[in-house]
Structure 1
Amino acid sequence: MFVANPRAVRAPYPDALARILNVAAGDESRAWLSHWDAISPQPTPLVDLPGAAAQFGVASVCVKDESLRSPLGSFKALGAPIALMRLILRLWPDHQLDPKALIEGHYREMLTHFTVISATDGNHGKALAAAAQSIGCACVIVLHANVSVEREQAIAAYGARIVRIAGNYDESVEHAAQLARDNGWHVVSDTSYEGYEAIPRDVMQGYGAMAAEIVEQARDAAFTHVFLQGGVGGLAAGVASYLWEIHGAARPRFIVVEPRQADCLYQSARAGRAARATGSVDSVMAGLACGETSPLAWQILEACVDDFMLIEDDDAVAAMRALAAGNHGDMPLVSGESGAAGFAGLAKLMNDSELAQAAGLNAQSRVLLISTEGATAPLVYASLVGEPAEAVATRRDERLATAVAP
């Protein structure tokens, strides 16, 4: 399913949206994150896939590989720590806290009794737990029924206290909010709701660090199309807003990809307002299995995402396997269930000439994809791809070593 957004505009980045997300704050977030030892000091790779480009009949396909961002394994390592840091700076304005010292844990004693909480499908919770551990505050993570034990253990490894509920993601968000009210804790969530916008804004602003790297790495090779994963909309808004502000009216065409059963952004595009998903919100793409659009993210997306599309779980699995195999001589990539969604969306469009034409994809198209996660659930990854992530990573590293050999 594919729908064009009639409200998308091609104009300079509006001042009203710049008050929500902007390049300056994204660059500041990147500078702060450079002091966190849980992420790589180097930009994640922007990998050219000429084999995929030839297969799909486009000029180029590039993948921003976030699996190498940190041991956390996903782009979420950019959002949660920035939101936590900005929250603490707002709560203690008179202490003149230094962001570098904060992320390095120098205010640990002051924050001993400070607790943050969030619901998660996995990656955001793990990033928040890791950031809280580095900074020195307590962290509680609420998990819904569909979050695997493997993901739970990965979060707990960073010292978070885990709370399990029987419901879905949206119910876990409500439960986290209630626990925060009852205990005087602070919610650090990546989805906004009425009266709760500052922290989701900060999370999205952290994602601007990734967009800043893309601008530097691409240099003058401007992309015509950017595929972005859906979820509640935070990633898409964080990246699209940055690229829109940089390129203005000449911005790329943004296409958002979601699981069919978690179609909240697709339904928002149809309704012209932030809406809920119509499906079961139960997808192998765990990071995208979100039932309700973030209203704050929608303010950005409504104005700049040109198309919204839905894919099946089988599409995502096929994309994971294709990226792992390094088909047509391409670099093998470890891309998780949600990470491969952009590649899956591109493949689905290019396998249907009418859809490709509707999306403006042709032999001149230069496509950017973001592999938002690696094998953040290694057992799930191995069962879907048919081999462990380590085997794929070994092939990737062998290719890299060959490429740089004299």
Structure 2
Amino acid sequence: MLINNTRASRSAYPAELRAIMNIESARESGAWLSHWSQINSSVTPLWDLPDAAETAGVAQLSLKDESVRSPLGSFKALGAPVALMRLIVRLWKSEVALDPKAMIKGEYAGLLRDLTVISATDGNHGKSLAAAAQTIGCRCVIVLHANVSVEREQSIAKYGAKIVRIAGNYDESVEFAAELARTNGWHVVSDTSYEGYETIPRDVMQGYGVIPDEIVGQIGASSSPVPFTHVFLQGGVGGLAAGITTYLWEYYGQHRPVFIVVEPQQADCLYQSAIEGSATRATGSVDSVMAGLACGEASPLAWKFLWPCVDYFMTISDSDAVEAMRTLARGTDRDAPLVVGESGAAGFAGLTLLAQAPDLARKVGLDAESRVLVISTEGATAPNMYAELVGESAESVLARQHEWLQGCTA
């Protein structure tokens, strides 16, 4: 399903939004994160996929590969650590000025050992928060709902977090985490906002701004006002989409690309928000193979940025995402084989669906002159699940990618 957001604006980035989310904060986040051992020093690849572009009927298709951002395996490595650092700076502001760059290297571990942070998660955010807390030296509690796999639970627990399981869904785990925090005097570090809770989700989104900041640098000079005509982004609660659209909107102003947000059919909270005109809940079961996007309620803070700039919202099936994973893993003579996880494949899957429906492609302005950007937000963060869905292990795909790269340099 596809819906046009008639509220989307082509004006310059509004000053009232820039006061909350801006390029300066994104770049500051990147500077802090560069001192963390869990962030790779090089920028993540921006792959050119000419054969996939030809199949989709567009001039160019670029894929930003966040699977190699960190050993943690996803873009979430950018959000939780920044939010945790900013929280700690605020908590200690009246006592001592803490340097975030020293903090993320563990230099204040003795001071912070009695601090406990907590969050609900579908997997990647919780793993990143646990890893950051372990490095910084504070305690971490992670609440998992019934649909989070044991494989994902184990990947979080290895970073020293205490795991709490509940029988409900993601939104119920968010509520449970908030209640535990109130009862125990802990601090919630969540990537979704709710009434009275917006500062930390804003900090998380500022961390995601590192991605478009890198892309702008990787592209370099272009003969066009904007190097991309269309950007496909994952949905979820909306934080990633907000972090990327706001940066590109501020950077390119009225010449910004067309933004298309993609989410699971059964977790369509942003699609439904576009219908309602305000942040609302999904209509389906919320259980999806795209675990990172299986969110039942849009973040009100993220929606504040999305409703004035996202041009289209669309939904895809789980089978669409799996087929996209397989396509990207296969590669071609001109397209490198890529390890893209379930949620990471959503944007590519959305492009594929529109390309197969000429009327919808025309509706969003996709044609032979279009230059498209998609973000692969994760690699094989659940390796067993990845191998089951793709029919090949991530290690095998990466081995073929290595061969492909050697062939390019031969």
TM-score (norm: length of structure 1): 0.99
Query: 2: distance between equivalents of 1:250 and 1:126?
Result: 37
Letter in 2 for 1:127: S
Residues in 2 aligned to 1:319 and 1:289: alpha-carbon distance in whole angstroms: 18
- Hey, what does 1:28 align to over in structure 2? 28
User: What amino acid does structure 2 have at the position aligned with 1:231?
Assistant: G
What CA distance in whole angstroms lies between the structure 2 residues aligned with 1:200 and 1:59?
Answer: 36
User: Are 1:232 and 2:237 matched, yes or no?
Assistant: yes
1:5-404 paired onto structure 2 within 5 Å: 5-93=5-93, 94-221=95-222, 222-327=227-332, 329-404=334-409
Q: Hey, what's the Cα distance between the residues in 1 that align with 2:26 and 2:238? A: 17
Give structure 1 stretches of 5+ with no counterpart: none
- What is the identity, as a one-letter code, of the residue corresponding to 2:209? G
Shift of 1:219: 1.8
Task: Please tell me the residue identity of whatever aligns with 2:115.
Answer: F
Deviation at 1:328, TM superposition (A): 5.6
**Distance apart, 1:403 and its partner CA:** 2.6
Q: 1:70 corresponds to which letter in structure 2?
A: S
Contact 1:52–1:328 at 8 Å: present in 2 too?
no
Paired AA for residue 196 in structure 2: G
**Cα separation, 2, equivalents of 1:290 and 1:12:** 30
- What is the CA deviation profile of residues 316-353 of structure 1, one whole-angstrom value per residue up to 9, with x for unaligned ones? 00000000000463110000000000010000000000
The answer as to whether partners of 1:36 and 1:103 remain within 8 angstroms in 2 is yes
* TM-fit CA distance, 1:54: 0.8
TM-score between both structures, scaled by the size of structure 2? 0.98
Q: How far apart, in 2, do the equivalents of 1:217 and 1:347 lie?
A: 25
> What amino acid sits opposite 1:80 in the alignment?
A
Deviations 1:234-268 (A, max 9, x none): 00000000000000000000000000000000000
Superposed displacement of residue 14, structure 1: 0.3
Mapped to 1, the partners of 2:175 and 2:406 lie a distance apart of 48
Give SS of 1:110's match.
helix
Letter paired with 1:83: A
Secondary structure of 2:194's aligned partner: coil
The Cα shift of 1:99 comes to: 1.0
> Which one-letter code corresponds to 1:39 in the other structure?
I
Q: State the aligned residue count.
A: 405
- Match of 1:130, SS state, is helix
Give me the whole-angstrom Cα distance separating, in 1, the residues matched to 2:333 and 2:169: 40
The RMSD of aligned alpha carbons is: 0.8
Q: Deviations over 1:357-395 (max 9, x none)?
A: 011100000000000000000000000000100000111
Q: Kindly provide the CA deviation profile for residues 174-203 of structure 1, in whole angstroms up to 9, marking residues without a partner as x.
A: 000000001000000000001000000000
Q: Distance in 2 between matches of 1:191 and 1:396?
A: 35
Separation in 2 of the partners of 1:271 and 1:146?
A: 28
